[in-house]
Amino acid sequence: MTGTEVEPAPRGAGRGDARPPLLRLEGITKRFGELLANDAIDLELRAGEVLALLGENGAGKTTLTSILFGHYAADAGTVRVADGRGGLVALPPGRPEAALAAGIGMVHQHFTLAHNLTGFENIVLGTEPWWRPRPARAGARARIEDLARRMGLEVELDRPVGTLGVGARQRIEILKALYREARVLVLDEPTAVLTPQEAEGLFATIRALAADGRGVIFITHKLAEVEAVAERVVVLRQGRKVADRPLVGTSREELARLMVGREVVEPVRRPRAPGAVVLALEAVTAGSGRDRIEAVSFALREGEILGIAGVSGNGQAALAALAAGLLRPERGRVALAGSAAALESPRAAVRAGVGRIPEDRERDGVVGELDLSENLALERLDAPEVSRFGLLRRRAMRERARRAIEAFAIRAPGPDAPVRLLSGGNMQKVVLARALEAAPRLLLADQPTRGLDVAATAFVHERLLAARERGTAILLISEDLDELLALSDRIAVLHRGRLAGPFPSEQLDVPTLGLLMAGHEPEEPLGAAA
């Protein structure tokens, strides 16, 4: 990548802006060994401003905010925070408690909540003298409830955090910062774990926070989110600030180019005649609780991508488990190329040519402690290229891994690197490589680009379309409607376990899909697809 897109002169951030500055970063530089994670970054945030910090994975966003919050000390540069009397004072580096006291609140991507404590206890943790008696908490409680009401952060305060969903946990995390009178709130990729509805709620909260005179730094790599909430955007690339401008007058394409450093070409789906039926469901009922499907039928053909839209928790997990051989139908029939036996167990499914990209790659996709070559071999331990006479062929495995690293542009130290050390995007490439290397008949792609940045997403899309060209039938489960519309030949919508469609994707758009996902019937009959 070439770094030619650096903006010539730093725009006087908010020149002529009457709002007082809350925070100023000056020349922040941080090096990790060879890697220059942050290179002389300047940044200013004003009261009531929502600033999007945009950048790909590894651009230095998290490093910058870790320095801001005192988790790391910068090698050079200063963090200045408003002192409440109109001036800016320098924060001592590497001291989280100093950042907290200065009114900087951080909502980490991985929440920092004790699961055994209630939401209320998590919020007041560390704010009381060691021996304060319990009755003194009534005041704290009233303040929290007031904050929650005003900022749209309603949440059950008296349940152990471990029993709450991610959306509720995030609201507690935000309340935690607000309770400490954070004037600057940093949200690190806050929507990665949220459903689209929860994300909408979060955006409303962010707007309320800004209206309240606080400053918000919103870290993301999703362009749509930048447009939804931000007033100004700062783009980081490979540790450098490459743009700092108001959002008005900046196009999405321009932002993408600034972020990636080159044009990102989203692959295009070319028309292709589908072949024989690969996966067939006939009136299948399966699963339990929220993960249940009822009387679902469809046929997925060779060289076709069938998209499954729907808010997560409407039966997607059951559908994915069926196709992977992890779940048997209660009623109805499921068959792979006409054979029900092929989907009787995960082992049978793999043998019959089912490639899988599981929804939660860290939990179900890879074994973090095993190295790359081992992870790539996991599905074919008895294949001759992996083992002979019951012994692993290490050299051959490493060679396979090297080929995959090259073919899938996996950024890893080598075939012997433990997979847990890879970034999310590269981990997903390992899963993808394993699923695709055997030229599967059916590819189960469950949220294949969740949490990936623009470039990695485009890469996954390209590979999925290439597999389709080769005749693989792909079941694409996704919450990203743009992704579904771009890749799928047909799209069906799951709502409360029932399937609407499939419909040809040309007849669908985002609003229509949104209505279907909420359980509405299509207004005018959509052409039922063959």
User: Which one of residues 13, 64, 124, 452 is an interface residue with other proteins (CB under 8 A)?
Assistant: 124
| Cα–Cα distance, 275 to 303 (Å, whole number) | 6
114 is a site residue for other proteins (CB under 8 A)? yes
In contact, 231 and 49? CB cutoff 8 Å: yes
Stretch that binds other proteins, among 81-89, 129-137, 250-258, 454-462 (CB under 8 A): 129-137
301 is a site residue for other proteins (CB under 8 A)? no
485 is a site residue for other proteins (CB under 8 A)? no
User: Which one of residues 19, 83, 90, 116 is an interface residue with other proteins (CB under 8 A)?
Assistant: 116
Q: Which is nearer to other proteins, 190 or 287 (CB)?
A: 190
Q: Which is nearer to other proteins, 54 or 102 (CB)?
A: 102
In contact, 273 and 475? CB cutoff 8 Å: no
Residue position matching structure tokens 């694409």: 476
User: Which one of residues 46, 108, 221, 450 is an interface residue with other proteins (CB under 8 A)?
Assistant: 108
- Which amino acid, residue 199? A
Residue 20: CA count within 13 A, CB half-sphere: 13
232 is a site residue for other proteins (CB under 8 A)? no
User: Which one of residues 27, 126, 338, 413 is an interface residue with other proteins (CB under 8 A)?
Assistant: 126
Q: Which is nearer to other proteins, 85 or 110 (CB)?
A: 110
Residue position matching structure tokens 């073919």: 407
| Cα–Cα distance, 475 to 322 (Å, whole number) | 12
Q: Which is nearer to other proteins, 32 or 381 (CB)?
A: 32
Backbone angles phi, psi at 435, to 5 degrees: -70, -30
DSSP tag of 371: B
| Three-point CA angle 106, 107, 112, nearest 5° | 105
339 is a site residue for other proteins (CB under 8 A)? no
Q: Which is nearer to other proteins, 101 or 224 (CB)?
A: 101
75 is a site residue for other proteins (CB under 8 A)? no
Contacts of residue 131, defined as CB under 8 A and 6 or more positions apart, other chains included, come to: none
Counting residues that bind other proteins (by CB under 8 A) gives 31
Of 437, 464, 501, the closest CA to residue 304 belongs to 464
Stretch that binds other proteins, among 16-24, 108-116, 317-325, 339-347 (CB under 8 A): 108-116
Stretch that binds other proteins, among 65-73, 214-222, 280-288, 439-447 (CB under 8 A): 65-73
Interface of this chain with other proteins, residues 240 to 299, rule: CB under 8 A: none
73 is a site residue for other proteins (CB under 8 A)? no
| Cα–Cα distance, 269 to 248 (Å, whole number) | 32
What is the β-pairing status of strands 232-237 and 50-54? parallel
Scanning 125-222, the segments in alpha helix (DSSP H) are: 137-151, 166-179, 196-211
Closest contact distance (angstroms) between CB of 182 and other proteins is 12
DSSP tag of 118: B
Stretch that binds other proteins, among 105-113, 232-240, 304-312, 409-417 (CB under 8 A): 105-113
| Cα–Cα distance, 154 to 173 (Å, whole number) | 12
Q: How far, rounded to the nearest angstrom, does the alpha carbon of residue 420 sit from its chain's CA centroid?
A: 17
Closest contact distance (angstroms) between CB of 96 and other proteins is 6
How is residue 32 written in tokens? 């990790």
By CB atoms closer than 10 A (0-12, 13-18, 19+), residue 156 is: middle
389 is a site residue for other proteins (CB under 8 A)? no
Closest contact distance (angstroms) between CB of 59 and other proteins is 19
132 is a site residue for other proteins (CB under 8 A)? yes
User: Which one of residues 101, 166, 409, 421 is an interface residue with other proteins (CB under 8 A)?
Assistant: 101
363 is a site residue for other proteins (CB under 8 A)? no
What is the full DSSP assignment across 357-382?
Answer: E-SSIIIII--TTSBHHHHHHGGGTT
Mark residues 159-188: x for contact with other proteins by CB under 8 A, - for none. Answer: -----------------x------------
Residue position matching structure tokens 């725009």: 11
How is residue 490 written in tokens? 């047909």
Q: Which long-range contacts (CB under 8 A, 24 or more apart) does 517-524 make?
A: 517/309, 517/310, 517/311, 517/493, 519/495
Closest contact distance (angstroms) between CB of 97 and other proteins is 4
User: Which one of residues 63, 72, 483, 512 is an interface residue with other proteins (CB under 8 A)?
Assistant: 72
Q: How far, rounded to the nearest angstrom, does the alpha carbon of residue 284 sit from its chain's CA centroid?
A: 31
Q: Which is nearer to other proteins, 16 or 129 (CB)?
A: 129
DSSP tag of 210: H
Q: Which is nearer to other proteins, 121 or 231 (CB)?
A: 121
- Which amino acid, residue 111? F
Stretch that binds other proteins, among 37-45, 92-100, 249-257, 517-525 (CB under 8 A): 92-100
User: Which one of residues 106, 242, 278, 491 is an interface residue with other proteins (CB under 8 A)?
Assistant: 106
User: Which one of residues 113, 216, 349, 491 is an interface residue with other proteins (CB under 8 A)?
Assistant: 113
User: Which one of residues 40, 117, 192, 204 is an interface residue with other proteins (CB under 8 A)?
Assistant: 117
Query: Applying CB under 8 A, which residues contact other proteins?
Result: 66, 71-72, 96-97, 100-101, 106, 108, 110-117, 121-122, 124-134, 176
